[in-house]
Amino acid sequence: MTEAKRLAAESALQYVEDGMIVGVGTGSTVAYFIDGLARIKDRIKGTVSSSEQSTEKLRAHGIEVFDLNSVGQLSLYVDGADECDPQRNLIKGGGAALTREKVIAQASEKFVCIVDPSKQVEHLGAFPLPVEVIPMARSLVARELVRLTGGQPVWRMKDEATAVVTDNGNHILDLHGLRIADPAALETKLNQIPGVVTVGLFALRPADILIVGK
Ligand code: 5RP
């Protein structure tokens, strides 16, 4: 799958135009995209990054990283996904960067999603749906997720004693056991739960272009 990820990432470089500020996602597929971007860094103005991890890698390559607030609308966002259905609805957040990823996707005219073939599914839901929550609301949100979906939320941990903490200081619940018939409806419903910061469904704003590395 490593080669498939690299090929998808390389192919996404065709959407990068001179002078652009490029939105950059997070993950192992995006890491290849960042390596490719480094080769053409003199052609672009810079990037907006979706995570501390990507920011570090971009800066290590000498690529400028701007604050989204200072650049407004972006032309292009390139990011990976954990699952993608035929309508380009996505599950994202396996790398815990879903909130900034969703913000940048919303701020971008074109969202190019880069995946290896294992990410393609007919129906979303086999991959546990990540939900970023404010820490004090974790139990409430978990109960609501059970009530509303029948799924099983699992608190994401780094190890037995340490919770995963997102770049925004929040926690992640991974919702298991779903078969998502209507991704946009589910995203809308789960967005209403108090304490939910971001649902890892990207259906209200899906990807525009899917590149599958083969
Ligand atoms: C991070 C994400 C990633 O895009 C997703 O987890 C895919 O990662 P990878 O390219 O490593 O398979 O949503 O929050």
Q: What is the DSSP string of 90-153?
A: EE--TTS-HHHHHHHHHTEEEEEEEE-GGGB-SSTTSSPEEEEE-GGGHHHHHHHHHHHH--EE
Query: Candidates 29, 33, 78, 165: which one to mutate for ligand 1, based on the most atoms within 8 Å of Cβ?
Result: 29
pLDDT, position 56: 98
Contact of 88 with 114, CB cutoff 8 Å: no
The pLDDT value given to residue 37? 98
Closest CA to 99 of 168, 45, 1: 168
| Residue 38 pLDDT exceeds 90 | yes
187 is catalytic: no
159 Cβ contact partners less than 8 Å away, ≥ 6 residues apart: none
Q: What pLDDT score was predicted for residue 1? A: 82
CA of 95 relative to ligand 1 center, distance in Å: 5
Whole-number pLDDT of residue 210? 98
Q: What is the pLDDT of residues 1-16, one digit of tens each?
A: 899 999 999 999 999 9
> What is the C-alpha end-to-end distance of the chain, expressed in Å?
9
Would you say 49 is a known binding-site residue? no
Tell me how far apart the alpha carbons of residues 149 and 190 are, in angstroms, rounded to a whole number. Answer: 9
- ipTM summary value: 0.98
- pTM equals 0.97
Confidence class for position 168, pLDDT limits 50, 70, 90: very high
What distance in Å separates the CA atoms of residue 102 and residue 75, rounded to the nearest whole number? 15
Residues 81 and 57: their CA atoms lie apart, in Å, by 19
Mean pLDDT on 132-160: 98
Which atom of ligand 1 is nearest the CA belonging to 31? 10
Residue 14 C-alpha from the chain's centroid? 21
Report the pocket of ligand 1 as residue ranges, CB < 6 Å. 25-29, 79-82, 92-98, 101
State what percent of residues in the chain have pLDDT above 90.
99
Answer for the pair 132, 166: CB distance below 8 angstroms, yes or no.
yes
* Residue of 101, 132, 144, 187 with catalytic role: 101
- By the 8 A CB rule, do 173 and 142 touch? yes
Residues of the chain with CATH 3.40.50.1360: 2-121+205-212
Q: What is the rounded average pLDDT of the residues 137-152?
A: 98
- For residue 4, what pLDDT is reported? 98
Confidence of residue 193 (pLDDT cuts 50, 70, 90): very high
Q: Mean pLDDT, the chain, as a whole number?
A: 98
Q: Choose which residue among 1, 2, 5, 30 to substitute to test ligand 1 binding: the one with the highest number of ligand atoms within 8 A of its C-beta.
A: 30
Which pLDDT belongs to residue 116?
Answer: 98
CATH architecture entry for 129-200: 2-Layer Sandwich (3.30)
Are the C-beta atoms of 188 and 204 separated by less than 8 Å?
yes
Q: Which CATH class, in words, describes the domain spanning 2-121+205-212? A: alpha beta
- The tens digit of pLDDT for each residue in 41-91 reads 999 999 999 999 999 999 999 999 999 999 999 999 999 999 999 999 999
